[in-house]
Amino acid sequence: MSATVTLFGSVGPSELAQIVTAHWLSFPPNPSGQSVFHREEDQAAKVAREATGGGFVVRFEVRAEKVGNGEGLTVRPEDLDAFNAAIVGGIHLIAEYAG
């Protein structure tokens, strides 16, 4: 079994609905283009709190070889399928912030 890294993401209501539809196993394409994930929950929570209309924080594990040594990870749209395939154990909702 390969090592994993815990990441956190901030998603809006429509993205969360798509994650639910995907049985909590994958992220949809980000409407703004690239998806950004963080190693620290606080960073994802800050983005979710500042989102117009509210936001949600999710936590997930991804195979370590997909993540560099930086504080965050930016996933380009063309890399999203491979990134989703590297998620281990599903995506978990951990916080909700009203807009």
pLDDT tens-digit series, residues 27-72: 999 878 888 999 999 999 999 999 888 899 999 999 998 887 767 7
What is the number of structural domains in the chain?
Answer: 1
What is the C-alpha separation between 3 and 7, in angstroms, rounded? 13
End-to-end CA separation in angstroms for the chain? 40
Residue 67, domain extent:
4-97
Tokens of 22: 């995907």
Using the predicted structure, report yes or no on whether residue 85 has a pLDDT greater than 90. yes
CA–CA gap between residue 13 and residue 15 (Å, rounded): 6
> Looking at residue 65, which CATH number applies to its domain?
3.20.170
Among candidate residues 53, 65, 48, the one with its CA nearest the CA of residue 2: 65
Which percentage of the chain shows pLDDT scores above 70?
Answer: 97
Query: How many CB atoms lie under 10 A from the CB of residue 2?
Result: 9
Mean pLDDT of the chain: 91
Note the pTM of the prediction, 2 decimals.
Answer: 0.91
